[in-house]
Homo-oligomer: A and B are copies of this chain.
Amino acid sequence: MTEKQWVLTDVAGGIWLDDFDLDPQDGPSLAGATNWSVQKRTLQGGVSAGVDVVEVDNGRLTMSILPTRGMGLWKGACDGLALGWNSPVPQPVNPAFVNQSDRSGLGWLSGFNELLCRCGLSSNGAPGTDVIKNNEGNATETELTLHGKIANTPAHHVAVSICDTDAGTISVTGVVDETMMFGPSLQLVSTFSTTAGSNSFSIIDEVRNLQGTPAELELLYHTNFGKPLLEEGAKLVAPILEMAPRDTHAAADIDSYDVYLGPTAGYAEQCYFFELAADEAGQTRVLLRNRAGDCGLSMRYAKSQLPWLTQWKCTQLEADGYVTGIEPGTDFPNLKTFEREQGRVVVLPPGGSYQVRIDFEIHGTAEAVATTEHEIRALQEHFVPQVHRTALPKYSGS
């Protein structure tokens, strides 16, 4: 294996590249591919001031990675299909301008516009009161803010790797510390990886518990799509073991949970909670496809790593953010206190780590979509899906 690496950022080592531009003319071989590139720039102006963007182009698929926002994926495209959505917040936001406590703990929403952002690491989900240990070792109430801190924490180490083996791989790795004295001390090592000329990419994450005591982990991949993939009649295809609406509002439309509306005035979000079936190797897969069924995006991952899936339907008007979230996670995005009661909070031992890999594939033809749908349906063929028509106490509380 021939691998070359470039460190773009390393705070501890005093490394920082103002700009970075790598392409075949720069020398490294990527298995003979001739039209790929990796570029880095820092945004200037507005609330985007100081936000780093690493743009990967594998020749067919592009992706904009945001080290400054916890290694989230801002937006991408594959074979001309735009991936992402149009948030009311159009540009990436430097966490320095985000007050997560704002608006009763909903301040996170002032920086939310990514195709993929992580919710976690110490907590995710709804804002509310939890009980933590303070510096004196005593229990004290604290306010958790929506979706935790990781998406608003900049990476302190960023590196690009080019591997010449097989078809050639481009990787971008970032290290993000969610640490504080007397608080959670978790480290995310995140790698985005894609093969030259492919219609797929992978997220390979490791979360490490750096502290000397066990640490709780909640990790959810808030993966978001708007037009053109999302449209009236677009569908979610998932191998259901068990599913329930989050609340009565979602229950009202349980029969059409898997079909999307077009942009709809007055629409309020509806969420559905899933446990998916997996194959013998433990892999599960979920697909979002357009109405015609000639384009789609699938995510494949180990159910053991991400045992729960949340579908967030938010088909409000385009001006307000027409979007759906397909959100595999270690938990559902309820207040952490409830998830803890239900046994859906991971506990990492001192020095322990948690691995997640998600393989994303973009399907650009009716045949590719059909094949994927077929595969997902096959995952379910030995099970009778339990679709609950009302909220489940174990998923949503009472």
A residues whose Cβ falls under 8 Å from a Cβ of B: 9-12, 14-16, 41, 43-50, 87-91, 94-97, 99-104, 106, 109-110, 112-113, 132, 134-137, 140-143, 145, 153-158, 177, 179-183, 185, 210-213, 247, 249, 263, 265-266, 268-269, 316-321, 350-351
- Find A181's partner among B132, B182, B321 (CB 8 Å cutoff): B321
Chain A residues touching B, majority SS = loop
Closest beta carbon of chain B to A127's beta carbon, Å? 9
Copies of this chain in its oligomeric complex: 3
B97 contacts A249, C-beta separation under 8 Å: no
User: Given A154-B46, A180-B110, are A88 and B185 also a contact pair (CB < 8 Å)?
Assistant: yes
Q: Which 3 A-B pairs give the minimum distances between C-beta atoms?
A: A137-B268, A212-B317, A46-B156
Which residue of chain B lies nearest to A318 when distances are taken between CB atoms in the complex? B212
A106 contacts B182, C-beta separation under 8 Å: yes
Q: Contacts of A317 on B, CB cut-off 8 Å?
A: 211-213, 350
26 A-B pairs within 8 Å (CB atoms) are namely A9-B44, A9-B46, A11-B44, A11-B46, A12-B90, A14-B43, A46-B154, A46-B155, A47-B156, A87-B181, A88-B179, A89-B181, A97-B154, A100-B102, A103-B132, A104-B132, A104-B140, A106-B135, A106-B142, A109-B135, A109-B181, A110-B180, A112-B180, A113-B181, A137-B268, A185-B319
B91 contacts A350, C-beta separation under 8 Å: no
B183 contacts A103, C-beta separation under 8 Å: yes
A156 contacts B109, C-beta separation under 8 Å: no
Closest beta carbon of chain B to A349's beta carbon, Å? 12
B158 contacts A45, C-beta separation under 8 Å: yes
Which residue of chain B lies nearest to A95 when distances are taken between CB atoms in the complex? B97
Closest beta carbon of chain B to A11's beta carbon, Å? 5
A247–B50 Cα gap in the complex (Å)? Answer: 45
Q: Contacts of A249 on B, CB cut-off 8 Å?
A: 136-137
A109–B19 Cα gap in the complex (Å)? Answer: 33
Q: Contacts of A155 on B, CB cut-off 8 Å?
A: 45-46
A118–B46 Cα gap in the complex (Å)? Answer: 17
A47–B94 Cα gap in the complex (Å)? Answer: 11
Extra 13 A-B pairs, beta carbons < 8 Å, given A89-B177, A103-B142, A110-B181 = A11-B46, A47-B153, A47-B156, A49-B50, A89-B179, A104-B132, A104-B140, A136-B249, A136-B269, A137-B269, A182-B320, A211-B317, A211-B320
